[in-house]
Structure 1
């Protein structure tokens, strides 16, 4: 049995503006949802880290700062991919819940719950991977940018909390 996925499932973070994306997030639809929003926050954190690194070159530890900037750039790309993957996973999970009761529905719910949790686990892994570098960046950064370092840390914490919450919900009913 095939269940339609909502029309905005084709929405991608790269195909729309921030305004358009947040309008889609405000809709009563599974895509995008909270996991995708967490991935956007993760992408913003990575971008802030990159920005601070860019301003901090020439302050003594250029190789270390450059390596952190590369890690942050990779995380930003991963986060943008996860925005869309999480949205697609949420749409598939919602479609599974709307399907007719029976063993096929139960199997689909289990499979899609695990897939949805996997995107959040990857989000958490990415956030955890840059935390040591962010702590070091606090020492290396241009002092005028310490607020940006702190905000990036807060955003990483938010991405981790989002991941933890969604994984718990996605897998809690299995």
Structure 2
């Protein structure tokens, strides 16, 4: 997807193809949030009024660029993970042996499909923290973009949580389900923190 135009990617999203889907959208929300953090840093660096904040801005600029690339990687990984699930469901099930193998493959694929949005939510929380970090020294003319970066990070977390929950619902491993339930609670806390930060910027 790195080589696609936005228009082409949106066409793919709107098509009848199962991927890209919601997990990729979650990751792209994170990518856009990271992009806005970078933009705010770029529009703050080099301006005398904000000279004392320049070291922070330069540090965050590098981190936000890395986050953006990771988000794109996760969007691609989500499509692959979803394909893994659909492929597992298509496995033969005529014999008991085939049914056992198919069930194991489905569970492994679901675990992978839940892991990708989970990583997206973790990344989105990192991006939210970067937005918090630059808020005190950001160019006042682009403070609204700090807020939108936080909104994008929040959307990424919420969308990722939906995808984690959907995959968790079909998992049979009790331990794995419990772990994901804990992670979903953590994401909920991060979303609440994001909402508080956004309100402070409004």
* TM-score bracket, shorter-length normalisation: 0.7 to 0.9
> 1:113 maps to which residue?
110
What is the deviation of 1:121? 1.4
What is the deviation of 1:35? 0.2
CA contact (8 A) 1:82 1:119 kept: yes
> 1:67 maps to which residue?
59
CA contact (8 A) 2:91 2:102 kept: yes
Q: Does 1:159 align with 2:156?
A: yes
Give the Cα separation in 1 of the matches to 2:121 and 2:62. 18
Counterparts of residues 2-151 of structure 1 (less than 5 Å)? 13-57=1-45, 58=47, 59=50, 60-101=52-93, 102-151=99-148
Give the Cα separation in 1 of the matches to 2:102 and 2:82. 15
Larger radius of gyration, structure 1 or 2?
2
Give the Cα separation in 2 of the matches to 1:155 and 1:132. 13
Aligned residues: 162
Residues 97-106 or 118-127, more deviating: 97-106
Q: Which runs of 5+ in 2 are unaligned?
A: 94-98, 172-202
CA contact (8 A) 1:30 1:94 kept: no
RMSD over aligned CA atoms reads 1.2
Give the Cα separation in 2 of the matches to 1:96 and 1:15. 29
Q: Which runs of 5+ in 1 are unaligned?
A: 1-12
- Runs of 4 or more consecutive aligned structure 1 residues displaced over 4 Å after TM superposition: none
| SS class of match (2:43) | helix
* TM-score, length of structure 2 as denominator length: 0.76
- Larger RCO, structure (CA 8 Å, separation 6 or more): 1
| SS class of match (1:32) | coil
